[in-house]
Chains A and B, each alone.
Chain A
Amino acid sequence: MQVISFINMKGGVGKTTLTVNVACGLAYLHRKKVLLVDADPQFNATQYLMEDDAYLAHLNDPAKGTLRDIFVPRRPGPVNTVAGTSKSVNKKKMPLSACTASIFDGGDGRGKLDLIPSTLALMEIETSKRGTETKLRSYLQEKAASYDFVLIDCPLLFQFSAKRPF
């Protein structure tokens, strides 16, 4: 697994276009297994690859997550009929399959592209506690080893969240 970040300082210069098209090129044309991470709260890469209905369905599905859920896994804990909610916050890491949308799957050995979608709510992590920025790194190391490439469409550099790709 190689992790490659697409970075620049200025918005509107074609970074997302480049990231999405290279990710697709690797998967469709070169039969690579590719995971594209939309790390920009403006979620342009997500909008590029997902139809609106599919994206909304993903957001509204409680079993599905976005990049925000990888950084700040806070879901309601399991409910116990005697004790009520046994744990107020479930901080367990979501499986990668729950945090991805399949964009292309050519079959075994014929290329695959999955996307971790972004959301405007990703902006919330700008004010999250120290150490949050390293969570994507450990998550990818643990769960994305089977991909040939992980490509990350980064937000503008001055944002805290731009630190996460490395």
Chain B
Amino acid sequence: MIGLPLLEHWLEEFTDDAGMTIKSVGLVFSMVRGNVPRRMAEVMEDLRNERGSEVFSALLSESIDVSTSVEEHLPVFRYKPNSKTAAQIENITKEFLART
């Protein structure tokens, strides 16, 4: 996992140069496959172990409901209110609110 430290390093350099501070709300797993491949599951678990509560409990799975909601110009929870993706969005939003 080198992407995350690189991203954080870049952010730190930029905010230092600009004389500002920002804080992380958290990390969200997105486009998670239904049957998570073993290697990916390991990476997700490693990240949760390393970063603890920084990683959102809620995640967003890969779903056709997303692409069809784009075509309808509606958020998933309005396009398909009782879907798994809608529930995931609602959970992420609740967690987002609790963290901000």
Contacts and interface: CB of A to CB of B under 8 A. Distances in A.
Interface of A: 2, 4-5, 7-10, 13-15, 17-18, 20-22, 24-26, 28-30, 47-51, 134, 149, 157, 163, 166
B78 A25 contact: no
A2 B14 CA distance: 20
Given A18-B30, A22-B92, 14 more contacts: A4-B100, A5-B22, A7-B11, A13-B31, A14-B62, A17-B60, A21-B89, A21-B92, A22-B93, A25-B89, A25-B96, A50-B73, A166-B18, A166-B20
16 contacts: A2-B100, A8-B7, A9-B3, A13-B31, A14-B31, A14-B60, A17-B30, A21-B77, A21-B89, A21-B93, A22-B89, A22-B93, A26-B96, A29-B93, A48-B73, A134-B18
B64 interface: no
A28 B78 contact: yes
Given A2-B100, A18-B60, A157-B10, A48 B30 contact: no
A13 B100 CA distance: 23
B66 interface: yes
A157 B10 CA distance: 9
Given A4-B25, A166-B18, A21 B76 contact: yes
A18 B50 CA distance: 23
A157 B30 contact: no
Interface residues on B, range: 20 to 34
Interface of B: 3, 6-7, 10-11, 14-15, 18, 20, 22, 25, 28, 30-31, 60, 62, 66, 70, 73, 75-78, 89-90, 92-93, 96-97, 100
B20 A22 contact: no
A5 B97 CA distance: 14
B28 A29 contact: no
B66 A17 contact: yes
A26 B97 contact: yes
**Which 7 interchain pairs have the tightest Cβ spacing?**
A25-B93, A14-B30, A24-B75, A14-B31, A21-B89, A21-B75, A48-B70
Nearest to A23: B75
B42 to A, nearest CB: 18
| Most chain A CB inside 10 Å of its own CB: which residue of B18, B92, B93 | B93
